[in-house]
Structure 1
């Protein structure tokens, strides 16, 4: 699936649209600033797939600080059979600059 811009993400969050939203930053980063996503740090993702397995065929939006870790998370999830994963381009840094 195509990645998502921070502008599109903000519009969808403002409308309370339904999608699975995952923040793959570390817990301390999440505690400092978050957008309400579930927090599963990238390093923990392989061990916590059971928490999101039921969303395999639903849209999943992943984000991190700048888009790099979430890009890796997208590739990993796709390799595990998740079919509709989107990365937030620019991450929370770009989102906070809106």
Structure 2
């Protein structure tokens, strides 16, 4: 099954529309506190031992985000392997989203 992706443009549009999104930021805590767009922060290094902290339903869409879209792919694979069914990766990560806001 192919991994689900969302572009920075699509995510930005959904955020601007006020959509309530389930965001899971898998960057380290210091990165999250430096810049974030909300959601739950569980660093990738702690993800497999902290599933109980994911307050989202296993069938709900969860958008996984990181800095460049690499750690979030790993998180996407971990979550999918543990029964989460609708995990979406932010392609290019927050860097791609920030580039949209610079223009």
Q: Please indicate the TM-score interval, normalised by the length of the shorter structure.
A: over 0.9
Deviations 1:3-39 (A, max 9, x none): 0000011111111212310110000111111111211
In structure 1, the partner of 2:20 is 18
In the alignment, structure 2 segments of 5+ residues that lack a partner are none
In the alignment, does 2:74 pair up with 1:72? yes
| CA RMSD, Structure 1 to Structure 2 (Å) | 1.2
* Structure-1-length-normalised TM-score: 0.94
Residues 52 and 14 (structure 1 numbering): CA distance in 2 closer, same or farther, change over 3 Å?
same
Equivalences, count: 98
* Structure-2-length-normalised TM-score: 0.89
Structure ranking higher in helix proportion: 1
Runs of 4+ in 1 over 3 A off after TM superposition: none
Aligned 1:1-98 pairs, distance under 5 A: 2-52=4-54, 54-98=56-100
Shift of 1:68: 0.3
State how far apart, in whole Å, the 2-side matches of 1:89 and 1:61 are: 10
State how far apart, in whole Å, the 1-side matches of 2:71 and 2:91 are: 11
